[in-house]
């Protein structure tokens, strides 16, 4: 083997190298003690080698294929690829035959080289390296060849599962700096990129990571038991999955494209991507997988599509849009901030072998500046929970029923904020909220039940519920914890079953009921007696749709207007607030108004539902038939929850329906047992102030010169004030 340590002319080198192609290899002098850097032969436009202290320069005047026995660059060493004689637009392919390429120093390519390719099927390591090219660059573990016209072809089957020196990935980039004038491509079965910086086309180019044949390599990761539930009937199994692409704390100026045919695509430790992040995988995707407080920042859009058992985005800030679709399992975002729109989808394109359902979870403190759209094949859960474990790390099983365990656990804190509209839809599952959800404009929840063509898991859930046709009844509920509040200007709820909050029972606490409902596909009956009110902050409910045999429980913390419904029994209450039921688009079997509501208004004729409310004065349920005309009914109107507080000697008033008059007997009352009694305002007797404990079919007609009210039969009765004393 011959070492060339001095500069010689290109003509001499060309002649020398032509002879060496068949007689000897060229040792560049680089990589000593680390495998060396030895050229076996070269073709095409290679015109010579220049060596200096800790450097080697290869000169080209045309497309060239450089075949290396070994290719390594030590720290402090430099390998240059130069286009000479004004040559431009050339391709230089470097293929390596023996051992992994280890680059600890510098690799440079000048302006005339438009494509620089390093192909080593044995693997490549960049550690503390600098890589600078004026054109495009590719680092690949595929076999490669070049024809006479400079066209490069690749052979994925040539890649060898050979990772010496404890190297776990076929290509690894650690603590390195890449400045590429064009686009940059990495191709290997497995890749690991750690704390490295990439600048492509001054931030306007593409960095592409492509993994192939990942299933043939040995890097695996255990994903545990999924909330601690392993093989006990809860549907989540322990498994390992090939880890094909890993990025840790990277700095990339440019767009990132990751393509993986198998295994997990994972980023950890935060990082900065000044551009778009695009991921296409037949396996799983986990963005910022470890929750260590470090944020992954993406200044552009994130588009991720996968077909694996899991997809995550955690502690991630996306200035643009976040679009994530998973066809093989669940999808979860947590502590994510999105500047524009967020779209989350599970499609159930394939049944994964690990038992994961096609859930969608939004956990932690997550915010979206624009619209949020969630489409899930199965359950949607906004909020989070954890399964409890004992001192040995085993899941705590509370109870076994019909062949499956119920687990202990607790709900976790969080909040979901959406700047514009939130739309959540399930095809076969529940929608559950266990944290506050704040929406700037419209909130729409649409939960659909299974259609009868689903797998045995749904069937088992129906059997446990004692259903005669269990397949046709799973899911379709809109659920919440009793404390979670939905806050929007307008709301729309569509459900194939129950709408409301869940609470505990004689066996389980509220948290346990919620966790097991979500974790194990528990069936929730349409007429559940285990109900609580789903809380809203107030606003307008534009639509409620359920089957006629379903129950709806909605409690408002503020004034609420109902303008549309096609439902069964609607149970609605507004604590010390107002309920308006407006317009001809409200249809229901019954609308039951909670007794704590201070003000009820039903203003349209031709209703097809019965309205029921509780008379606080005597705790009787008052029923307003659909054919009865009612303008509004008022309770105390003073925020007193229908319970006026009086000092001795003070006066109050009551709204009374047919039946006995309140005592003492009024002074000169009209001979009418359907009377509203008022106290005039002292300075304006023509404008009465009512303090009444219950809603009823009455209205003050301010157009009359004296206080009066409209009776249920349409007549008008003059109302006289009289005293009621303690």
In a domain, 681, yes or no: yes
189 falls within a domain: no
As beta bridge partners, residue 621 has: 614
| Residue that the structure tokens 């004992």 belong to | 390
Query: Cα–Cα distances in Å, from 295 out to 124, 269, 370, 439?
Result: 28, 7, 21, 24
Ranges assigned E (strand) in 55-176: 55-70, 78-83, 90-96, 101-103, 106-109, 113-119, 124-127, 130-133, 136-140, 143-146, 152-155, 171-174
**Does residue 716 fall inside a structural domain?**
yes
Say which range, 46-60, 274-288, 463-477, 551-565, has the weakest mean pLDDT: 463-477
The answer to whether residue 689 is domain-embedded is: yes
* Tens of pLDDT, residues 340-367: 999 999 998 766 555 567 889 999 999 9
Q: Are 305 and 287 in contact (CB under 8 A)?
A: no
Percentage above 90 pLDDT, the chain: 50
Alpha-carbon distance of 313 to 334, in angstroms, equals 6
Cα separation of 563 and 320, whole Å?
35
Number of domains into which the chain is organized: 1
Q: What is the pLDDT of residue 240?
A: 54
189 neighbors 217 (Cβ within 8 angstroms): yes
- Which residues lie closer than 8 Å to 486 by C-beta, 6 or more apart? 433, 436, 437, 439, 443, 480, 534, 535, 536, 537
Residue 602: per-residue pLDDT:
77
Identify the domain containing residue 696 by its residue range. Answer: 595-726
Give the pLDDT of residue 705. 39
Tell me the two tokens of residue 687: 């404008």
**Summary mean pLDDT of the chain:** 78
Decide if 360 contacts 382 (C-beta within 8 A): no
Report the C-alpha gap between 289 and 307 in whole angstroms: 17
Distance CA 298, CA 319 (A): 6
pLDDT of residue 162: 52
pLDDT(671) > 50: no
Predicted confidence at residue 468, as pLDDT, reads: 53
Phi and psi at residue 393, to the nearest 5°? 85, 10
Does residue 686 surpass a pLDDT of 50? no
Which three-class secondary structure string do you get for 619-671?
Answer: CEEEEECCCCCCCEEECCCCCCCCCCCCCCCCCCCCECCCCCCCCCCCCCCCC
**Least reliable range by pLDDT among 336-345, 545-554, 608-617:** 608-617
**Per-residue model confidence as pLDDT tens digits over 611-658:** 887 755 556 677 777 776 544 344 433 333 333 333 444 433 333 333
pLDDT over threshold 70, residue 466: no
pLDDT-derived band at 454 (thresholds 50, 70, 90) equals: very low
Give yes or no for residue 206 having a pLDDT over 90.
yes
- What tokens were used for 717? 């009765």
Tokens 């029994």 identify what position? 569
Q: How far apart are CA 385 and CA 115, in angstroms?
A: 51
pLDDT at 33 over 90: yes
- Residue 715: other Cβ atoms inside 10 A: 10
At 351 the pLDDT is 63
State the pLDDT at residue 356: 65
* The pLDDT value given to residue 292: 77
Query: Which of 288-297, 395-404, 412-421 is most confident?
Result: 412-421
**pLDDT of res. 634:** 40
Tell me if 339 sits within 8 A of 359, measured CB to CB.
no
Q: Looking at the domain assignment, is residue 195 inside a domain?
A: no
**What pLDDT is stored for residue 619 in this prediction?**
62
Q: Kindly state the tokens that stand for 577.
A: 């607030």
- Mean pLDDT within 84-100: 95
Region 230-238 average pLDDT:
40
Predicted pLDDT of residue 145: 93
Residue 153, domain member (yes or no): no
Give residue-wise pLDDT tens across range 135-151.
999 999 999 999 988 89
Q: Are 313 and 322 in contact (CB under 8 A)?
A: yes
Helix, strand and coil in the chain, % to nearest 5: 5, 50, 45
> Nearest to residue 534, comparing CAs of 572, 492, 577?
572
Q: Is the full-model pTM beyond 0.85?
A: no
Calculate the alpha carbon distances from 105 to 78, 80, 179, 252, 484 in Å. Answer: 6, 11, 14, 20, 57
The H-or-E segment that residue 332 falls in is strand 330-338
| pLDDT for 462 | 54
**Predicted local confidence at residue 539, as pLDDT:** 98
- Classify residue 522: in a domain, yes or no: no
- Confidence check: pLDDT of 216 > 70: no
Q: Which two tokens stand for residue 175?
A: 């603590």
Residue 396 within any structural domain of the chain = no
Range with the lowest mean pLDDT among 4-8, 401-405, 606-610, 713-717? 4-8
Q: Convert the pLDDT of each residue in 387-415 to its tens digit.
A: 888 888 888 888 777 666 778 899 999 99
pLDDT in tens, 518-530: 776 666 766 667 7
Residue 461: predicted pLDDT: 54
pLDDT reported for residue 560? 96
pLDDT-based confidence at residue 470 (cuts at 50, 70, 90): low
């Amino acid at each position: 083997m011959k070492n060339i340590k001095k500069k010689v002319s290109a003509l001499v080198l060309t002649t020398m190298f032509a002879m060496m192609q068949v007689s000897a290899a060229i040792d560049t002098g680089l990589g000593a003690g680390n495998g060396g850097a030895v050229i076996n032969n070269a073709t095409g436009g290679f015109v010579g080698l220049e060596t200096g202290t800790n450097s080697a320069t290869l000169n080209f005047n045309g497309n060239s294929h450089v075949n290396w026995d070994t290719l390594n660059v030590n720290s402090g060493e430099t390998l240059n690829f130069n286009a000479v004689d004004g040559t431009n637009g050339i391709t230089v392919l470097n293929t390596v035959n023996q051992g992994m390429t280890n680059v600890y120093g510098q690799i440079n390519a000048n302006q005339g080289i438009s494509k620089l390719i390093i192909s080593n099927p044995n693997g490549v390591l960049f550690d503390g390296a600098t890589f600078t090219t004026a054109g495009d660059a590719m680092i690949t573990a595929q076999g490669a060849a070049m024809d006479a016209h400079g066209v490069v072809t690749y052979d994925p089957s040539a890649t060898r599962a050979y990772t010496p020196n404890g190297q776990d990935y076929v290509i690894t980039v650690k603590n390195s700096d890449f400045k590429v004038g064009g686009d940059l491509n990495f191709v290997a079965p497995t890749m690991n990129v750690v704390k490295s910086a990439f600048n492509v086309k001054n931030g306007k180019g593409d960095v592409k990571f492509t993994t192939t044949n990942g299933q043939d390599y040995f890097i695996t990761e255990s994903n545990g038991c999924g909330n601690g539930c392993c093989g006990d009937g809860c549907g989540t199994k322990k498994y390992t999955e090939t880890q094909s692409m890993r990025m840790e704390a990277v700095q990339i100026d440019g767009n990132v494209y990751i393509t993986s045919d198998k295994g997990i695509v994972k980023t950890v430790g935060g990082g900065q991507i000044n551009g778009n992040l695009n991921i296409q995988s037949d396996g799983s995707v986990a963005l910022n997988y470890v929750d260590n407080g470090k944020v992954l920042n993406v200044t552009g859009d994130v588009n991720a599509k996968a077909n694996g058992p899991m997809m995550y985005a955690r502690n991630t800030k996306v200035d643009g849009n976040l679009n994530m679709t998973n066809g093989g399992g669940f999808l979860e975002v947590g502590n994510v901030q999105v500047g524009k729109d967020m779209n989350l989808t599970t499609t159930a394109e394939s049944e994964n072998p690990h038992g994961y359902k096609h859930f969608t979870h939004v956990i932690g403190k997550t915010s979206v500046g624009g619209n949020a759209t969630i489409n899930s094949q199965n359950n949607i859960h906004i909020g989070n929970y954890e399964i409890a474990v004992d001192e040995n790390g085993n899941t705590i099983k509370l109870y076994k029923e019909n062949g499956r365990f119920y687990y202990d656990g607790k709900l976790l804190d969080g909040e979901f904020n959406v700047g514009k509209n939130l739309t959540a839809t399930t095809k076969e599952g529940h929608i559950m909220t266990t944290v506050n959800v704040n929406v700037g404009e419209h909130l729409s929840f649409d939960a659909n039940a299974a259609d009868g063509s689903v797998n045995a898991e749904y069937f088992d859930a129906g059997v446990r519920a004692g259903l005669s046709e269990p397949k046709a009844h799973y899911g379709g509920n809109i659920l919440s914890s009793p404390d979670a509040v939905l806050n929007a200007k307008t709301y729309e709820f569509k459900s194939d079953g129950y709408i409301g909050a869940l609470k505990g029972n004689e066996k389980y606490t509220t948290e346990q009921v919620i966790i097991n409902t979500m974790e194990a596909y528990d069936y929730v009956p349409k007429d559940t007696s285990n109900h609580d009110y789903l809380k809203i902050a107030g606003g307008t409910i534009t639509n409620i749709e359920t089957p006629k045999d379903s129950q709806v429980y909605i409690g408002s913390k503020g004034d609420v207007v109902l303008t549309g419904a096609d439902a069964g029994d609607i149970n609605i209450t507004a604590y010390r607030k107002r309920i308006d039921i407006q317009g001809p688009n409200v249809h229901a079997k019954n609308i039951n108004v909670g007794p704590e509501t201070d003000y009820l208004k039903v203003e349209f004729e031709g209703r097809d539902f019965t309205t029921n409310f509780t008379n606080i004065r005597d705790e009787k349920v008052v029923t307003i038939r659909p054919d009865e005309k009612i303008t509004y009914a008022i309770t105390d109107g003073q925020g007193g929850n229908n319970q006026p507080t009086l000092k001795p000697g003070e006066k109050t008033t009551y709204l009374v329906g047919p039946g006995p008059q309140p005592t003492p007997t009024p002074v000169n009352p009209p001979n009418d047992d359907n009377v509203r009694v008022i106290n005039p305002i002292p300075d304006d007797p023509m404008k009465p102030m009512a303090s009444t404990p219950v809603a009823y079919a009455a209205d003050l007609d301010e157009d009359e010169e004296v206080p009066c009210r409209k009776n249920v039969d349409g007549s008008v009765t003059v109302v006289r004030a009289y005293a009621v004393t303690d």
